[in-house]
């Protein structure tokens, strides 16, 4: 049979991603009036890396009552041609069976169950270890709707391309259908999704990270027009040249192909809970944010909740599970969420937040009983580890874990490793997926559908210089400006160079599902709706001295900054006026018990250096130029006001 001629599928990328190449369309497909129907073409050959399973009688047959779901799944089945279809119900029996099958196929390795009960190790393909922002697309009707920070493709063309790639892709495999809920089930913000996947690892991870199973089908009901997210994922052949993560906000749909890494394939997480949800939030009048949520309770029993936006691998999980130093006896920190917050304006004019997730997908390296004891206690059981090292006694190890390195281990690639080896034992972006119920400091209000009231919003990034330890914005619009201009040094959480400073507004640069300028506008318009808005702050735990050493001890000592923030919310703590906002004076921070910390160090941490801020202003201006003409004038005016204050 003659091969059809390729056709170009145009994709517009932000300048930082643009190259001379383009995506190609393997064959001509005609799109029907249903959102993804297309003509069948001969699939290209691919190795079966996900063999079909044969489930016990009665398992995998729990279909929902919703006809729209059934029709959609049937069309995907006809397209991908799996050997069988497995309808997941989230039960313990199902989970036990799938864990056994995953171990039998080599997808998982069972760890020492005496040391690590319920724990398993997964190794991803070495070419597939992080989010791929270059091949993450927003497929909106126009380029303007996607905005200048997103890769864009016209939806119909991308549907044709993707379904051409997916034709026959699941032959010899099981097609799993995963129903799930994001958010507390009784929350008005809760969303139902269905993910179709040929990866058993995805199914097992989704059971941890979402409220997965029959409860989602029950909540959706049988109405044919009920809202649900349609997600399709296939490993294909895990080839980087055939890797795409595509979002169709107007259709509430996601298609991911060619990857097995969690951030690209757990479609509930960054894909739905941020990219699609941010679009829905703008349409529906709420906020979907890349933020942790924590509770702070004083010895007197007064409690506040704080939301904080940090880029990936910048300490969100550590902060969300913070243990105060001994000096702060009686203070309690509880975790509502460690990564994503959905927030709405309450009837009383306050901002309320829920955590849409049901688990934590945290970065492993550097996690220890010193840096995050609560995370370590959480991952002692019922955890899926990805790309960490395996010791000879069936335990896991990573750089930064407590104790001495093992004398010999198997590294994240499956190769022998010793302390003398050149490479890392664990990948820098190795991960754990663990149920939030394992967290010993889980907040008692985590399932509250109305959410928890937010007293403060914190923005922060990884900056070696310029940004002081903490400062407070002068008001809502100034706070939105601070968030919009936020920058951080890149980490291993995404592919690309590490250590470069890039603008990451509100930690949403890779996750905003529509035009970032309209996203800023949505934040600005939310302010007047709040009778009692949260105070807004910026923090930087990562400032260094001239010798390249961190000035701030971080981890539990971040409680000292958090207490100042809470005291500011209650109108108690002092601060000094500065061009960038209110900055605490050394005497305003409770530093008692902080050993080896000199007055010179705290002054350096709080310093505002004119030369560094001149560079910062220039960097912000350059970034805003790349967003023109979409930056709201209110933010440009905030930038001009800051420049004038710094020039005085």
Active-site annotation, residues: 314
Q: Which residues contact 555 (CB under 8 A, 6 or more apart)?
A: 318, 322, 370, 371, 372
140 vs 268: CA distance, rounded Å:
19
CA within 13 Å, CB half, 71: 10
Based on its alpha-carbon atoms, the radius of gyration of the chain, rounded to whole angstroms, reads: 24
Instruction: Choose among 314, 320, 365, 348: nearest CA to 540.
Output: 314
542 vs 544: CA distance, rounded Å:
6
- Residue 518 φ/ψ, nearest 5 degrees: -70, -30
Instruction: Choose among 267, 198, 261: nearest CA to 230.
Output: 267
Answer whether 316's CB lies under 8 Å from 299's CB.
no
| Angular region, 511: left φ>0, alpha ψ -120 to 50, beta rest | alpha
Tokens of 504: 């990451």
Bridge pairing between strands 409-410 and 416-417: antiparallel
Residue 472 three-state SS: strand
Q: What is the dihedral of CA 222, 223, 228, 232, to 10 degrees?
A: 60
In 492-532 the beta strands, taken as DSSP E runs, fall at 501-503
């Amino acid at each position: 049979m003659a091969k059809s001629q390729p056709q170009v599928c145009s994709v517009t990328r932000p300048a930082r991603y643009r190259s001379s190449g383009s995506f190609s369309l393997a064959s001509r497909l005609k799109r029907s009036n249903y959102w993804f129907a297309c003509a069948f073409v001969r699939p290209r050959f691919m190795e079966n890396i996900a063999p079909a399973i044969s489930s016990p009688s009665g398992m995998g047959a729990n279909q929902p009552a919703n006809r729209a779901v059934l029709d959609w799944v049937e069309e995907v089945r006809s397209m991908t041609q799996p050997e069988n279809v497995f309808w997941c119900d989230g039960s313990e029996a199902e989970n036990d069976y799938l864990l056994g099958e995953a171990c039998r196929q080599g997808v998982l390795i069972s760890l020492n169950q005496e040391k690590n009960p319920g724990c398993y190790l997964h190794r991803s393909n070495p070419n597939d270890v992080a989010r791929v922002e270059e091949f993450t697309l927003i497929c909106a009707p126009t380029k303007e709707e996607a905005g200048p920070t997103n890769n864009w493709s016209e939806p119909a063309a991308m549907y044709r391309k993707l379904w051409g790639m997916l034709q026959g892709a699941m032959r010899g495999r099981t097609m799993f259908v995963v129903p799930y809920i994001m958010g507390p089930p009784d929350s008005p913000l809760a969303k139902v999704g269905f993910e179709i996947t040929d990866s058993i690892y995805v199914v097992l991870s989704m059971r941890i990270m979402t409220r997965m199973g029959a409860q989602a089908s029950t909540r959706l009901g049988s109405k044919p027009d009920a809202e649900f997210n349609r997600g399709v994922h296939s490993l294909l052949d895990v080839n980087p040249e055939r890797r795409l993560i595509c979002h169709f906000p107007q259709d509430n749909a996601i298609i991911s192909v060619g990857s097995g890494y969690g951030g690209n394939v757990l479609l509930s997480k960054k894909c739905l809970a941020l990219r699609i949800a941010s679009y829905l939030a703008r349409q529906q009048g709420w906020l979907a944010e890349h933020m942790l949520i924590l509770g702070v309770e004083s010895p007197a029993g007064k409690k506040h909740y704080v939301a904080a936006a940090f880029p990936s691998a910048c300490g969100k999980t550590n902060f969300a599970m913070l243990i105060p130093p001994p000096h702060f006896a009686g203070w309690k920190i509880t975790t509502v969420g460690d990564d994503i917050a959905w927030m709405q304006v309450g009837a009383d004019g306050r901002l309320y937040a829920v955590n849409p997730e049901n688990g934590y997908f945290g970065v492993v390296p550097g996690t220890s009983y010193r840096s995050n004891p609560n995370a370590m206690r959480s991952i002692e059981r019922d955890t899926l580890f990805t790309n960490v090292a395996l010791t000879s006694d069936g335990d896991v190890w990573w750089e930064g874990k407590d104790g001495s390195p093992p004398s010999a281990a198997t590294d994240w690639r499956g190769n022998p490793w010793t302390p003398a080896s050149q490479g890392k034992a664990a990948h820098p972006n190795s991960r754990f997926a663990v149920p939030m119920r394992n967290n010993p400091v889980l907040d008692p209000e985590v399932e509250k559908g109305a959410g928890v009231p937010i007293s403060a919003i914190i923005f922060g990034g990884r900056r070696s210089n310029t940004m002081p330890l903490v400062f407070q914005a002068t008001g809502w619009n100034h706070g939105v400006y601070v968030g919009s201009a936020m920058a951080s040094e890149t980490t291993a959480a995404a592919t690309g160079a590490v250590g470069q400073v890039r603008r990451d507004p509100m930690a949403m640069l890779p996750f905003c599902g529509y035009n970032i300028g309209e996203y800023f506008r949505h934040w600005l318009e939310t302010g007047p709706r709040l009778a009692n808005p949260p105070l807004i702050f910026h923090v930087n735990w990562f400032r260094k001295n001239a010798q390249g050493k961190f000035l701030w001890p971080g981890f539990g000592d971040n409680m000292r900054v958090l207490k100042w923030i809470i005291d500011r919310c209650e109108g108690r703590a002092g601060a000094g006026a500065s061009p960038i906002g209110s900055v605490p004076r050394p005497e305003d921070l409770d530093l008692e018990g902080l050993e080896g910390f000199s007055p010179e160090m705290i002054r350096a941490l709080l310093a505002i250096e004119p030369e560094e801020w001149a560079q910062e202003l220039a960097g912000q201006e350059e970034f805003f130029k790349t967003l023109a003409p979409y930056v709201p004038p209110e933010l440009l005016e905030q930038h001009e006001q800051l420049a004038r204050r710094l020039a005085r």
